[in-house]
Amino acid sequence: MDVTLRVWRQRGPGEPGEFKTYEAGGISPEASFLEMLDTVNERLTEAGDEPIAFEHDCREGICGTCGLMINGQPHGPQLGTATCQLHMRKFASGDTIVIEPWRASAFDVLKDLIVDRSPLDHIIEAGGFITVPTGSAPDANLIPVPRDAAEAAMDAASCIGCGACVAACPNSAAQLFAAAKITHLNLLPQGQPERHRRTIAMVEMMESFFGSCTNHAECETACPKGISIDTIAIMNRDYLAAKVADRRMAARS
């Protein structure tokens, strides 16, 4: 199949960028989207041109690094998949495909299709972990967890931190990402001792970088793991509870 690519090219942060057009001919419909970009880059290199910079790692929909905006959709037209899981058979020969980096105020473009997603890391650093000793892995696994809580926690923990929710949101909000990371810990017994501190720290770190949620629900649609916006409601509830608890403790002291 033959497709035309319109790719965002930008040499670095703060530098002007522009769309450039490339012809990608003879592409197998069974090739993944990233394999198609590999082919284009090989041809650019052979022609003495600079290849297109884009991120990738596992190429199995696990690491979350491959996020691209494809024809205006995070990760492309196939819902529930990361960019690396998208195959060229989702397009028709002769199509023009527009490829951009994540567009969000918190994500600076580093080069071409690569953005700086470190603000997501700052949210995790603020409290996305458990420091309470739970023993070795077998000991921790002996702690009873209600079935519903375990399943909901696993659903939230499937977040791969790709940033598609941020790129899809009209407000560049990161509530779905933060909510997934908070919820999967807050639902488990091991997460209870630090629940309030964790929630306040992560929510307030998120708000220092990203916009506010106004319930467009674009994030849920864009998420390659199908994480529900119900997690945002859980996060908001926990945040309110944590702030009330903090106020009560301050009043007693």
Q: What is the mean pLDDT of residues 90-96?
A: 98
141 versus 207: the higher-pLDDT residue is 207
Q: What is the 3-state secondary structure (H, E, C) of 135-169?
A: CCHHHHHCCCCCHHHHHHHHHHHCCCCCCHHHHHC
Per-residue pLDDT, 134: 74
Question: Does the pLDDT of residue 132 top 90, yes or no?
Answer: no
What are the pLDDT digits (tens) for 61-83? Answer: 999 999 999 999 999 999 999 99
Please determine whether the domains at 3-111 and 118-252 fall in the same fold group of CATH. Answer: no
Residues in contact with 193: Cβ distance below 8 Å, sequence separation at least 6, in sequence order = 132
Which residue reads 């819902």 in tokens?
A: 79
- The DSSP call for residue 51 is P
Q: What is the mean pLDDT of residues 89-96?
A: 98
Question: Does the pLDDT of residue 35 top 80, yes or no?
Answer: yes
**Residue 53 burial class via C-beta count within 10 angstroms: exposed 0-12, middle 13-18, buried 19 and up:** middle
Question: Does the pLDDT of residue 252 top 80, yes or no?
Answer: no
Q: pTM above 0.75?
A: yes
Helix (H) or strand (E) holding 240: helix 230-252
Q: What is the mean pLDDT of residues 208-236?
A: 96
On average, the pLDDT of the chain sits at 95
Domain ranges of the chain: 3-111, 118-252
Question: Does the pLDDT of residue 94 top 70, yes or no?
Answer: yes
Statement: 118-252 belongs to CATH 1.10.1060.10: yes
The CATH architecture assigned to 3-111 reads Roll (3.10)
Residues in contact with 184: Cβ distance below 8 Å, sequence separation at least 6, in sequence order = 153, 154, 156, 157, 159
Question: Does the pLDDT of residue 250 top 90, yes or no?
Answer: no
Per-residue pLDDT, 248: 75
Alpha-carbon distance 156 to 115, whole Å?
24
Q: Could you give the residue ranges of the DSSP H alpha helices within 83-226?
A: 118-127, 137-141, 147-157, 164-168, 175-186, 195-209, 218-222
Question: Does the pLDDT of residue 97 top 80, yes or no?
Answer: yes
Give the pLDDT band (50/70/90) at residue 139. Answer: confident
Per-residue pLDDT, 253: 66
Alpha-carbon distance 119 to 108, whole Å?
10
pLDDT above 90 as % of the chain:
89
What are the pLDDT digits (tens) for 166-216? Answer: 999 999 999 999 999 999 999 999 899 999 999 999 999 999 999 999 999
Q: What is the mean pLDDT of residues 135-163?
A: 89
Question: Does the pLDDT of residue 100 top 90, yes or no?
Answer: yes
Per-residue pLDDT, 98: 98
Alpha-carbon distance 143 to 45, whole Å?
55
